[in-house]
Structure 1
Amino acid sequence: MSNQEPPKIEFPCPDYPIKTLGVASDEFLDVVLAVMDKHAPGFDRDKLEVRASSKGKFQSYTVYITATGIEQLQAIHEDLKKHPGTRMVM
C-alpha cells in the first residue's frame, strides 16, 4: 500500500464534476438542479450530462461547477444525500 496523499484541489476549481445517481424521475432532476443553484449559482446547465441505467430505473446526473471550497462541496453532498431518491453522490 502507498502512503501517498490524494492530490490537493486548488480553489476555485472550474469544471469540477459532481455526479449523482438516483431513482429516475423529473422530481429528482429538479432536486439536483435546485441544490446546484443554491450552492453553485450560475453553473452551466448546458453541460449537464444525463445517463439512464440499462433498465431505466435509475439515472445519473453529472453537473460541472466552479468549486469554491471544501465547505461548498460538503454542503452539496449533504443536501443531495437528504433526498430519498438519491443512491450515490460522487
Structure 2
Amino acid sequence: MTDTEVKAPKIEFPNVDYPIKVISDTGAGNKDKILEIVLKHATINHNRVDERQSTNGKYTTIQLHIVATDQDQLYNINSELRATGFVHMVL
C-alpha cells in the first residue's frame, strides 16, 4: 500500500460505545422511527442521544451510541435506515 491509499479503520467488536450519526429530513416522528429501527438491531445508550437541526431546519442530525456486536449488525442498521426514504446519510 502506498502513502496515498487510505485503509478503513478497523473496528474492534464488541464495541460498547459505538457512535452513529444519522442525517435525515426534519419531520414529525422521524426521530422515533430512527430509534425504533436502531433498537431492532442494537442496544442504545439513551443518555447519549443528541439531536440537532440544520440552520434552515430542513435536515436533522441524530447522534447516538450503541453496543456494536459485528459488521453485519452495522450493515443492517445502515440498510434499514437508508430504506426509509427520509434518511440521507448514516455515518
Distance 2:41 2:68 in 1: 9
For the residues of structure 1 that align with 2:27 and 2:33, how far apart are their CA atoms? 10
Query: What are structure 1's unaligned runs of at least 5 residues?
Result: none
Give the TM-score taking structure 2 as reference length. 0.88
Residue number in structure 2 paired with 1:56: 57
Partner residue in 2 for 1:76 = 77
Post-superposition offset of 1:30? 1.3
Following superposition, the deviation at residue 6 of structure 1 comes to 2.5
Count, aligned residues: 89
> 1:4 Cα shift?
4.7
Q: CA deviation at 1:66?
A: 1.1
Give the match for residue 16 of structure 2. Answer: 14
Counterpart of 2:67, as a letter, is T
The list of structure 1 runs, each at least 4 consecutive aligned residues, that deviate by more than 3 angstroms after superposition, is none
Gaps of 5+ in 2: none
Percent identical residues: 33
State the alpha-carbon separation in 2 of the partners of residues 19 and 63 from structure 1: 7
Question: TM-score with structure 1 length normalisation?
Answer: 0.89
Displacement of 1:61 = 0.3
Query: CA-atom RMSD, angstroms?
Result: 1.3
> Which of 27, 30, 36 pairs up with 2:38?
36
